[in-house]
Amino acid sequence: MSSQSPEANRTPNASYAYRKAWKALNTMLEEGRSYSGYERNSAFLNLGAAADGTPRYADVSGACGLDTLDDGRSIGVTDWDFDGRLDFWITNRTAPRLRLQQNRSVTKNTFVGIRLLGQAIGARVRLTVNGKPHVRTVRAGQGFLAQSSAWLHFGLPQDATITRAEVRWPGQSEYQAIEGLRAGQFFTLTKGQRNAQAWQAPQQPILHDAKPITPPSQRARIVMASPLPFPATSYQSFRGEARPLLTHAQPMLVNLWATWCHPCLTEMQEWNAHQAALNDAGLHILALSVDDVDAPLSERQQTVQRFLNKHALTLETGLATTDFLETLEVAGRALLDKFETLPIPSSLLIDTQGRAAFLYKGPVSSEQLLQDVAKLGAPDEARHLAAAHFPGTWMESPWPATPTVMIDKFMSFGKPTAAKRYLDTFTSSTDQRAQQDLSESYYLVANELRIQKRELEAIRAYERAHALAPHKHLVRLELATLLFKHRRYGKAVPHLAASLRTDLGNANTRKMLALSLVQTNRSPEAVPHFEILAQATPGDGNAHLWLGHSLKRAGQPDKALIHLRQALRILPNAELAANELAWILATSTQDEIRNPQEALIFAQRALESAGQPRAGILDTLAAAQAANGDFAAAAKTATHALKLAEAAGNATLANAVQQRLILYQQRQPYREPSAGK
């Protein structure tokens, strides 16, 4: 079973288990496996309650023939042949997709069938038979993905006497009497009438038993309705070089073969004999050996070369590698709804655009190859018809080729980088559905990269997903969050602002936006956001700290002091709050704000909270000392701050401290008329 869908917290981590479970289910589908572990269907007979009231059931699955191995999905109940016995129509995920289980039980019991005509969904019929009530309701949908017959079937004992019959139609509160019902027959009843009309069942067509299921063949020619580009991969030359697979601007047949495979030899000899015709058609054949893939290169070379020389084969050949075969399996799972390990030989025909156009399981003749090469340039309609397994009319064209399925398979194999590389080389379509699929693929890849802690790659994938579908809120929020985390504040601001407009109540988004505005010297814009946060959570010391910090930078020191003091009351060891307070109180040009004695106390408190000397805090302490007239101490402290700033490579702070040191040496305090440092 898959985990519950994470609607409340749709973060990459919250979605990971859910998507992983669905991938596991889809893999079972692709491989033709059973959802139920080949558990047989079951049927239980109600034996009525025991003396103590406990319900009793008997397993009659085998006795009644319902214990099939089908992967059952839904069941519809109906008296199909109108013989008074209920039959089952069962749909399955596996063949047979539809099964009729006819009720052929022998019984002396009887029945009555009633069909209410008109708007009858929700109507209820109540019969009194031999003094006991029997109730049936007309329902819209019964069970999983099923709708049983609209006929109301009442199974009755052999000696049934219907003493009372009533119907309550939808929208009515009272039951209406029904007359004319008799056991062993079918009746119809129209709303507003009392008398039921006897109904004669038609003769049902004879149903023949299903044909035996044909076992799957190892040989097939598969036409791709919407060809996908084959992923970039490489094979190994006899010299041990890794060569890219797709380098020719012509149709290419990639063949898998082995020296122990007699059909492979027959196939290759036939191609060899018709090589001139194949060359004239522009087809390039590359035959890759799968002999002993894990063996040393020298052993593989000797085995394959000896075979080629013995049989005078002149086709271009190479060695399939583990990576190549894994890429081929990824592509195979993406191209085919049901994936089975490819037999040897197998071949893939790739068109001039690098797209997988035909897959051949088993040998393929030169004649067939020539016919298919000629079809590579055919219109989409012709390819769609060729891909269908039976004649018919397309109600809607197949979906345009998108990399979604290929990406999903790369992700299942734990290869998000390969998935993104495939996406990056995919030419996007102008079709809106295709654009949506591309965006979703990039989003899934980005989530996987993020989970694997490859966040810079994830940022690029999120950016691509956003470019393809700018309206997707979740993509934009995930991108903004990572940009913020990696201190790319300028890029994060527009995405955070747009995300906040979509979800005004998201406090975390508002906080990231406000902090990003501060870091990009846009403190006045940050102030309203911090005010909302501080009002929403008055006990959050950090909210008051950052609001005070922003107000200070925005040139509102009087308001800044209020929130910085509140922050320090909530967070006594908040060095930033103490440092900001000290700076304002020491350097303000306003007499009503400046308080040198208190500034010195807060500066020393910030230094103690920091635990070790820091250039910024020492700079504040020097300003406070100068404000108190202790210029010698201020010069000494400023000199220490200057050395730390230079050692840290902080040229901006070092230059500012140098200018203030000159003032202290001239016995002058520093005053800051507007925004803080």
What does the pLDDT look like over 345-389, one tens digit per residue? 999 999 999 999 999 999 999 999 999 999 998 888 888 888 887
Helical axes 507-519 vs 523-536, angle rounded to 10°:
150
Reported confidence tier of residue 676, pLDDT bands at 50, 70, 90:
very low
CATH 2.60.40 residue ranges for the chain: 107-200
Residue 9 pLDDT greater than 60, yes or no: no
Cβ atoms < 10 Å from Cβ of 495: 26
Any idea which fold 107-200 has? Immunoglobulin-like (2.60.40)
Helical axes 523-536 vs 541-553, angle rounded to 10°:
160
Q: What percent of the chain has pLDDT over 90?
A: 70
CA distances from 665 to 114, 291, 620, 662, 670 (A): 107, 84, 16, 5, 11
CATH no. of 220-387? 3.40.30.10
Per the CB < 8 A criterion, the answer to whether 10 and 474 are in contact is yes
Reported confidence tier of residue 419, pLDDT bands at 50, 70, 90:
confident
Reported confidence tier of residue 677, pLDDT bands at 50, 70, 90:
very low
What is the torsion angle, in degrees rounded to the nearest 10, for the CA atoms of residue 143, residue 144, residue 150 and residue 155?
A: -40
How many Å apart are CA 128 and CA 210, to the nearest integer?
Answer: 41
CATH 1.25.40.10 residue ranges for the chain: 469-665
In tens, the pLDDT along 79-134 reads 999 999 999 999 998 778 899 999 988 999 999 999 999 899 999 999 999 999 99
Which CATH superfamily is 469-665 part of? Tetratricopeptide repeat domain (1.25.40.10)
Q: What is the mean pLDDT of the chain?
A: 89
pTM of the model: 0.62
How much of the chain is in helix, strand and coil states, percent to nearest 5?
Answer: 45, 15, 40
In tens, the pLDDT along 508-554 reads 999 999 999 999 999 999 999 999 999 999 999 999 999 999 999 88
The pLDDT, as a whole number, for residue 654 is: 95
How many Å apart are CA 328 and CA 351, to the nearest integer?
Answer: 16
CATH 3.40.30.10 residue ranges for the chain: 220-387
